[in-house]
Amino acid sequence: MPSRQKENTDNSKIFGMGEEKAFDYFFRQYYAALCFFAKSILHDEDEAKDVVQDCFLKLWDSQTMIERSASVRSFLYTAVRNKCVDVLRRKKTKQKAELQLIQNNENDSEYFDEVTFAEMIRQLDGYLDELPSKMRHIMKLYYIDGKKYHEIASKINSTPEAVRRQKARALHIIREKFRALLSFF
């Protein structure tokens, strides 16, 4: 089944749960990736979060939810991108050059690269959540908090070598999932 058709079918099932549960589902699925996407345009984390929240409020509008049920992901990425352009338009200072670039290259591959990368981050976050809790904890301490093996080992009452092995296993699991994902393309 083509990806767009599968998304439409999946969205229909999600909306069948009711608007609040559907909204909660989409918020959990896309919030982090959309924030990353908006931040890549605005270069400001707080502004990016504000933009994404505004777009989710727009989605919450019941008429929008009904109209957009078939393509929520596309709607959210487009809404976030357009809102970011609006924010940059209002700034008109040193970010004027970035706005020019975005407007001139609207259909440029750079836009699609950013969307693709944001989706990969979202997918990676999902893969991390699927790891056993100890592996997930080690990966977050190592990659997100920047802790060293011996710091993690002392925090979880283990040895640095055991931490290294757990990290290696987690990376192997994630790589395999990405290979499986890439085999579809």
Lowest mean pLDDT among 6-15, 61-70, 134-143: 6-15
Has this prediction a pTM greater than 0.75?
Answer: no
Q: How far apart are CA 60 and CA 152, in angstroms?
A: 41
Average the pLDDT over 134-162 and give the result.
91
pLDDT of residue 69 exceeding 60, the answer is no
The per-residue pLDDT for range 71-118, each reduced to its tens digit, is 788 888 989 999 998 888 777 655 455 566 666 655 556 667 777 778
Q: What is the mean pLDDT of the chain?
A: 78
pLDDT of residue 44 exceeding 60, the answer is yes
Domain ranges of the chain: 3-106
The tokens for 142 are: 């190592």
Rg (C-alpha) for the chain, rounded Å, is 19
Q: How far apart are CA 38 and CA 56, in angstroms?
A: 13
